[in-house]
Chains A and B, each alone.
Chain A
């Protein structure tokens, strides 16, 4: 579904991606793990059209989307849940969700009410808080809102940038449980995550990104038992996991 080939992006004059190649097959859940500053967010933002690459291509469903502006990429169903959630704080929970519907564009104009209901059944707390300002939600609730907002656009590929960042372990687990539910429904997902243990446990395939390069790739289970990965990313006492 998504094919990224030799993608290179410079950001503020610094080369952040140095020829990244990866693919996300339909129906799979793929992780990108790597340390802070490896270029993970840059990669997602380049795929999304927020940043312009200086080399390489991004193909989505066979179509070249490399130089498409961000809003057109989103309308194709290639939706990103950005790092830090980026909830529109002064807008209500419901308004945030309704804005998410725009990305659906020309795809499937039917069943308007059903989408809201589907999001509310996945995240019941959002139904309770629907009239509240998005900015008044807790971090975990905001992450749910951000995911729900993207789901409103009926993503063909859902990209998530550090969905567990800054969340309590309980909240992080809830978010990952929701992702597992989506995966079980056949949602294609590309997950960027610093918490490698959690990412490898919940995905089919993973890429390791370091200093703008893919240094390793393979089935998530295989990577999770790879000695190099264990020593670098899965320390015995990982304080961020519990």
Chain B
């Protein structure tokens, strides 16, 4: 029984990182109504910036974390400028934006491949102290505690920005109606840029956390996360903040439990099967109809 609880705990930690990744993904969908398929590449660059800040510049991890968030945020704004804004200005269909974001993702990955010489990098030994605690018979590492704490802080920060600041109000206004927002004096393109920055910063944070947790940073690391992030936001409901959080946690726990008790080969089949089931039974996701107030998506 302890083993089950141990795995649920591990799944919770992993799920938190999925949630962090998915939050930025769902935020862009909620505000701009497009899927940013370059989100995985932004995440990967966040991991690299964090890594290089530690290895090349020799700076402490918390600096790397902030640097990764800023850099990934800026890269994400760049993705908006290159892949989305020109198409939006022309009034192209949403499908075109999906294709162009795939294109930007490929370019970002090629650049990372060149920069990393196709190698898998690791954070140097001792970047993060390896300490374990025993709580009620469960083994909890300091790393897990820090991961959960960072996720909690970042989610609180995101909710604070969205629901308690003028910028957050403007983001939600743009999500509901771009025209009304513009008539109120809101610069819609600036708000789009801000949304991409926040989304990218969250992805960058997730990149560093996952890079450390799995001790591996490479140019392809974003792809599986993009696919999983997709499942997570479908589980939770596209554009729903609560949904991305809950979806991430559920995904992490189901994945961890199915790897532990069934087989790792089967876990993806279970997770994607879960996605099909949700699409059939509740196409708007688990939180589609419920938490309307914690939803940025237009109606």
Binding site for B on A (CB under 8 A): 48-50, 69-71, 74-75, 79-80, 82, 86, 88-91, 95, 98-100, 102-105, 149, 153
A-B contact pairs, 12 of them (CB 8 A): A50-B182, A71-B183, A82-B179, A86-B177, A89-B299, A90-B295, A99-B181, A99-B186, A102-B185, A105-B185, A153-B184, A153-B185
A89 near B185 with CB under 8 A, answer: no
Cβ 8 A contact of A89, one of B166, B176, B183:
B176
- With both beta carbons as reference points, the residue of chain A lying nearest to B295 in the complex is identified as A90
Which B residues from 128 to 176 make CB contacts under 8 A with A?
Answer: 166, 169-170, 172-173, 176
Given A50-B182, A90-B176, 16 more pairs with CB closer than 8 A: A50-B179, A69-B182, A70-B182, A71-B182, A71-B187, A71-B188, A82-B180, A86-B179, A88-B176, A90-B172, A90-B292, A99-B169, A99-B184, A102-B184, A102-B185, A105-B185
Q: Which residue among A71, A91, A153 has the maximum number of chain B CB atoms within 10 Å of its CB?
A: A71
Contacts of A70 in B (CB 8 A): 179, 182-183
Q: Please, which residues of chain B bring their CB within 8 A of the CB of A71? A: 181-188
Q: How far is the CB of B204 from chain A (nearest CB, A)?
A: 29
Q: Are A102 and B166 in contact (CB under 8 A)?
A: yes
Q: Which residues of A contact B182 (CB under 8 A)?
A: 49-50, 69-71, 74
Enumerate chain A residues within 8 angstroms of B187, measured Cβ to Cβ.
69, 71
B183 near A91: Cβ-Cβ < 8 Å: no
A89–B299 CA distance with the chains assembled, in angstroms: 9
The closest CB in chain A to the CB of B190 belongs to A71
CB-based contact A90/B180 at 8 Å? no
Evaluate whether A74 and B183 lie within 8 angstroms (CB atoms) in the complex, with A88-B173, A98-B169 already known. yes
A153 CB contacts on chain B under 8 angstroms: 184-185
List chain B positions with a Cβ less than 8 A from chain A. Answer: 166, 169-170, 172-173, 176-177, 179-188, 292-293, 295, 299
Across the A-B interface, the 8 shortest Cβ-Cβ residue pairs: A103-B185, A70-B182, A74-B185, A86-B180, A102-B185, A75-B185, A71-B182, A71-B187
Most buried by A among B166, B180, B182, B183: B183
Provide the bound-state CA to CA distance between A49 and B185, in Å. Answer: 11
CB distance from A92 to the nearest CB of B (A): 9
Of A48, A74, A80, A104, which is in contact with the most chain B CB atoms at under 10 Å from its CB? A74
Q: Are A91 and B185 interface neighbours, CB within 8 A?
A: no
Give CA–CA (A105, B177) in the complex, Å.
20
Q: How far is the CA of A75 from the CA of B185 in the complex (A)?
A: 5
Q: Please determine whether B184 and A149 come into contact, CB atoms closer than 8 angstroms.
A: yes
Chain B residue numbers with a CB within 8 Å of A91 are 169, 172-173, 176
How many angstroms from the CA of A82 to the CA of B180 in the assembled complex? Answer: 8
Chain A residues with Cβ under 8 A from B185's Cβ? 71, 74-75, 102-105, 153
Does B180 contact A88, Cβ atoms closer than 8 Å?
Answer: yes
Q: Given the complex of chains A and B, what is the CA–CA distance between A99 and B186 in angstroms?
A: 8
Give the docked Cα–Cα distance between A90 and B175 (Å).
11
Q: For the complex, what is the distance from the CA of A179 to the CA of B63, rounded to whole Å?
A: 56
A50 contact set on B, CB distance < 8 A:
179, 182-183
A105, B184: Cα distance in complex, Å: 11
Contacts of B186 in A (CB 8 A): 71, 99, 102
Q: Are B295 and A102 in contact (CB under 8 A)?
A: no
A46–B79 CA distance with the chains assembled, in angstroms: 31
Q: Assess whether A100 is in contact with B184, with CB atoms less than 8 Å apart.
A: yes
Tell me the minimal C-beta distance from A156 to chain B in angstroms: 13
